[in-house]
Structure formats: structure tokens, C-alpha cells
Amino acid sequence: MNTLQASHPLVDGRTGDAPLVRALRGDRPDRLPVWFMRQAGRSLPEYRSIRADHRMLDACVTPELASEITLQPVRRHGVDAAVFFSDIVVPLWLAGVDVDLVAGRGPVFENPIRTAVDVARARAEFTPERLREALEPVREAVRLTVAELGNTPLIGFAGAPFTLAAYLVEGGPSRDHLQARTLMHAEPDTWRELLEWAAELSGTFLQAQVEAGASAVQLFDSWAGSLSATDYRAHVAPASRQTLDAVRDIRVGPDSAEGVPMIHFAVGSGHLLEELADIAPSALGVDWRTPLDDASRRLGDAFPLQGNLDPAYLGAPAAVREAHLDDVVRRGERAPAHVLNLGHGVPPETDPDVLTRIVERAHAL
């Protein structure tokens, strides 16, 4: 077991009792904690001003820029947590994989990984050790951010192994991830090697953020919803568990049983809730398709839940949006604890003032 340093916010008293941390540990603080996935950037004009002069991946590894972008929504919206500004492909890129973020498309890989030879080469060349050496700009960005946040927790962030593997096999975004799912069944040993490598990189990325000052982490799986429960359980869950184990092994103090809260969120995963729970995160994110009270019932009311405002309501009339928010909060009361969030990320066209009003209403409830 690793132990956090005495200067870490979870140890020195800054964030240990923060509403977000308490909720993720199963408590119900006096104030409902709120944050938004993809709140760092996208809809904020101050973010777009920075990005006008900086490539996405460069911004992610420039400490001052990454820290500033992370802090912007905390200043503007008064949310209860910052989420570290990054991208799921950053650990791959820092490890040496040739990837670019193409505007309007997403991650594009120059050399897709589709065979046993490809996987063996990647594991030999793009190692976690190489990533650890390249992560210092990320650690510095986390340290700068935590110094400014005070009592507000920072959430670390990484992509789940299946989503990374799907991008790597397909060479970029895909509608159905058919090539990735075919590899899963046609060459299961190659698939397992690929996911274990992706898990090592994402776990190393999460661990670095926590050690530098993050008070919680979220593992984000964009594409797990394309899998059946059977395939997820057999071919994906072990790698996601492996990723979280990199954080699960960290303790708040040498004599403490408390660890770092871990959220697992997968898009379109209503049919996978039980499988996601088996990975044993601290809390589960739920997208907008599954009501929170239904999700909690299926999970035996055993997990704090995060979510799950439908992003479509961000553009609805205020009265309609507020009724939806109130319904989500009411349904979330069934779970041991609730963190209010969207059921997916903030759309780029969102009016930032709408997000601020959601935070204000949630805090007033």
C-alpha cells in the first residue's frame, strides 16, 4: 500500500470533509455537491480564448495552461470540485504513441494496433516507465491547481482501457467499434494484452494525479455501452479493475483504512450497472437514460451515485430544466449519497450562465 504525503489535501484537512469527498464515501453532506463532466473548457469563452492560440495536446501538458483551464469553471460556476483538464489520449501520447486530436473528429492514430505483433511492439516501446518520466508537466499542473483550489477538491481523470483500445484498433472514432470487438473475439489473448497495456498506462496516469494532489478520480469509458454484459464481464472488466487498482492501493495515512474516492462512469451503460459495480469503485456515474432510483435499486442501494441531468435540458426553458433537476435530485435520494452531475459532458454550445444557475439551485435545495 502507498500512503499520501502529509501535504496532500486529503491528509492536511483541506478536502477530507469537502461535500464531494463525503458524498463519494457514502455520506450526505448538508450541501448537495455539484460538478459537470467536461466543465473544464468547451462552453466557456475564457477557455476558447486560450485554445485559440494553443493546440489541445499542448495545452494539456503546459502546466500553467492546464491549471488555468481547470480552475475556470470553479471560479465561474461555484462548483464543488474541479476536474483536471486533460484528454484520455494524453497518457498514450506522453508514452510516445503517435496520436493527434483532429478538430471535429477526435483522436486519430497514425499506426493503428490490430495484431499480436502490434501489441507486443507497443508494450515494449511505450512503457509505463516511459510515461512516468514524461508525466512531470501533469504533476506540476496538478500542484499549481491544488494550491489555488483551497478546500475545493480536484478530480483526476483517465480513460478506461476499452475506450483507449477501441480508438487504437479503429485508428480513430467509430460508430460501432466493430474492428475492436472483432479482435476481442477473434484473438482474445491479443485483446487481453492490449487492454492490460492500456490499463497500465491509465493507472499510471491516475496515480500521478493523485500523488500530486487530486482528492478523487474518475475513470471515463466512452464506448463501453457498445458491449453486451457478457462481453464486458469477460473481456473488459478485469482491465478496468486493474486501472482502478493503481489508486485503490493508495491510503490517506499509514494508520488509515480510507482510500482515495474513485468514480467509474460509462456512457450508455444502463445494462452494465451490475458489471460496473463489480469493479468496486467508490461511486458510479449514471447517464441520463437510467433514473437514479432505478439504478440504486438494482445495485442494492449500496453505492453513492453521480448524475444524471440530461444535457438536452440545458437548452430548455428554465421552468422545464428546473423541474428536471428537482426530479433527478429526488430520485437520487434513494442512494446512500448523491453527487449531482450531467449524464454526459457539457455540450460546447451551452450557455455558461445555465450551469451557474443549476449549481445555485442545487445548493439551495
338: β partners: 305
C-alpha cell belonging to residue 245: 487498482
Number of domains into which the chain is organized: 1
Residue 153 gets which letter from DSSP?
P
CA distance 242 to 128: 14
**pLDDT attached to residue 155:** 98
The grid coordinates listed for 210 are 493523485
Q: Is the dihedral of CA 62, 163, 42, 15 positive or negative?
A: negative
Over 90: is that where the pLDDT of 1 sits?
no
User: How many Å apart are CA 227 and CA 239, to the nearest integer?
Assistant: 15
- Mean pLDDT score across all residues of the chain: 96
Burial of 233 (0-12, 13-18, 19+ CB in 10 A): middle
Question: Per residue in 34-51, pLDDT tens?
Answer: 999 999 877 999 999 999
What is the pLDDT, as a whole number, of residue 91? 98
Task: Give me the mean pLDDT over the 248-265 stretch.
Answer: 92
> With 90 as the cut, is the pLDDT of residue 282 above it?
yes
Instruction: Check whether 255 has a pLDDT greater than 90.
Output: no
Q: Give 179: exposed, middle or buried? Use CB within 10 Å, 0-12, 13-18, 19+.
A: middle
| Rounded distance between C-alpha atoms, residue 68 and residue 352, angstroms | 17
Q: What 3-state class would DSSP assign to 308?
A: strand
- 3-state SS class at 139: helix
User: Quick check: 253 pLDDT over 90?
Assistant: no
73 in Cβ contact with 81 (< 8 Å): no
Active-site residues, by number, are 38, 42, 51, 87, 167
Alpha-carbon gap, residue 18 to 110, rounded angstroms: 43
Q: Which cell goes with 18? A: 469537502
Q: For residue range 118-161, list pLDDT tens digits in order.
A: 999 999 999 999 999 999 999 999 999 999 999 999 999 999 99
> In CATH, what number is assigned to the domain containing residue 122?
3.20.20.210
Q: How many CB atoms lie within 10 A of CB 357?
A: 16
For the cut 90, the answer to whether the pLDDT of residue 31 exceeds it is yes
C-alpha dist (Å) from residue 322 to 42, 307, 308, 318, 325:
23, 15, 13, 6, 5
Q: What pTM did the predictor assign? A: 0.97
Cell triple for residue 97? 504513441
Residues in the chain: 365
Residue type, 149: L
Q: Which candidate, 87, 13, 34, places its Cα nearest to that of 56?
A: 87
What pLDDT shows up at residue 61?
Answer: 96
Question: What amino acid occupies position 27?
Answer: D
**Closest by Cα among 161, 142, 164 to 67:** 142
Using CA atoms, how far residue 295 sits from 61, 91, 115, 268, 298, in Å, is 37, 32, 38, 13, 5
Task: Specify whether the CB–CB gap between 311 and 344 falls below 8 A.
Answer: yes
* pLDDT value at residue 254: 85
Distances (CA, A) of 129 to 28, 168, 217, 297: 40, 20, 21, 42
- With a cut of 90, say whether residue 66 has pLDDT above it: yes
Domain that holds residue 353: 2-364
Q: Are 340 and 332 in contact (CB under 8 A)?
A: yes
